[in-house]
Amino acid sequence: MTMNPTSPACQLSIEMPLAEAPEGPQIVRASVKDLKFWYGKFQALHGVSMPVWDRRVTAIIGPSGCGKSTFLRCFNRIHDLYPGVRYEGSIELAPENVNLVSRTIDPILVRLLVGMVFQKPNPFPKSIYENVAAGLYVRGIRNKGELDGRIEKALRQAALWDEVKDQLNKSAYELSGGQQQRLCIARALAPEPKLLLLDEPTSALDPIATAKIEDLINQLVTDVTILIVTHNMAQAARISHHTAFMHLGELVEYGDTQQIFTTPKVAQTQDYVTGRFG
Ligand SMILES: Nc1ncnc2c1ncn2[C@@H]1O[C@H](COP(=O)(O)OP(=O)(O)O)[C@@H](O)[C@H]1O
Ligand SMILES: [Mg+2]
């Protein structure tokens, strides 16, 4: 498909650096099939279907209130903490194809398989060490040597080790906002999840801390599959390989990030990525 060189989407593609497609075969890590979700009587998701590719970054974009967070939260069953919610359809996690939203699956188990990081850094009021250890305790790991090793590994993966290695017993609250968010990423990574969910992880951070998290995402994706909600189009283009555009609880368009940003198939997607609405 050729683009009109004067169209806004085309200009956008020239201005925006896109994440490089990683090498190697593509494997589906999770399949979302006709996923519907209700908060009580309000239906927030209307049959979303899409693949989540292994060790790739998938960006979820769309105007405020369109269901991005709701969709992301289905993957680790955070909704189950509230009464009156209901799921239909499935999110099948490969290779076992367990349905993450099945009532028969323990949400605690799901949260070990699927880590999550929120918009505002939310470390526990505990030491740096204890924050990262939290998910490991849930997994039943008590051996000090094993804990130490896994905590160091997670902090290294989150690009925080060098900054905190001599002060692991310090309160997490003494860290900067950007460091706290990397600590939350380390905490999510420690149980070695299959999927990492990031819900606008940089929206509370300054540009330097944001750049560090974006670099980190680029490195992490060699080991873990990442789903990220972002309202920042340039960020989605910089760090993701696949993009899902949502509107009013529906998946309007899904595709390779390059395609979504340069040759969207749906007019609504084009309007959104070029900043004409949302
Ligand atoms: N806990 C809740 N109870 C009822 N409705 C909710 C709740 N959380 C979100 N919603 C509604 O679900 C829709 C999608 O919200 P959300 O997933 O937070 O959107 P986004 O992350 O795209 O801004 C909105 O209409 C919102 O008002
Ligand atoms: Mg949200």
Q: What is the H or E stretch that residue 259 is in?
A: helix 257-262
Q: Taking the model in full, what pTM does it have?
A: 0.92
User: pLDDT tier at 5 (50, 70, 90 boundaries)?
Assistant: very low
- Above 50 in pLDDT, residue 9? no
pLDDT value at residue 19: 74
How many CB atoms are located within 10 Å of the residue 165 CB?
12
pLDDT over 80 (residue 8): no
Ligand with smallest separation from the Cα of 71: 1
Among candidate residues 265, 266, 263, the one with its CA nearest the CA of residue 5 = 263
70, 74, 86, 228: residue to mutate for ligand 1 pocket, most atoms within 8 A of CB: 70
Residues 237 and 261 sit within 8 Å (Cβ to Cβ): yes
In this predicted structure, the answer to whether residue 11 has a pLDDT above a threshold of 90 is no
Span from the CA of 54 to the centroid of ligand 2 (angstroms): 23
- The pLDDT of residue 22 is 67
- pLDDT (tens digit, 9 = 90+) per residue, 46-97? 999 999 999 999 999 999 999 999 999 999 999 988 889 999 999 999 998 9
pLDDT of 260 reads: 96
Residue nearest atom 14 in ligand 1 by C-alpha distance: 67
Strand order in the sheet with 28-39: 42-53, 28-39, 85-93, 98-99
pLDDT tens digits, 140-192: 999 999 999 999 999 999 999 999 999 999 999 999 999 999 999 999 999 99
How many Å lie between the centroid of ligand 2 and the Cα of residue 202? 13
Contact 128, 172 (CB under 8 A): yes
Q: Could you report the per-residue pLDDT of 214-236, keeping only the tens digit for each?
A: 999 999 999 999 999 999 999 99
Ligand 1 neighbours (beta carbon < 6 A) = 39, 42, 44, 62, 64-70
In this predicted structure, what is the pLDDT of residue 261?
Answer: 95
Best probe residue, ligand 1, of 39, 80, 119 (max atoms within 8 Å of C-beta): 39
Query: What residue's CA is closest to ligand 1, atom 24?
Result: 65
Nearest residue (by CA) to ligand 1, atom 26, is: 65
Q: What is the pLDDT of residue 43?
A: 98
Region 200-213 average pLDDT:
93
> Which residue has its alpha carbon closest to ligand 1 atom 9?
70
pLDDT per residue over 88-137, tens digit each?
Answer: 999 999 998 999 999 999 998 898 899 999 999 999 999 999 999 998 99
Residue 270 main-chain phi, psi, to 5 deg: -60, -45
Q: Which CATH architecture has domain 27-120+193-273?
A: 3-Layer(aba) Sandwich (3.40)
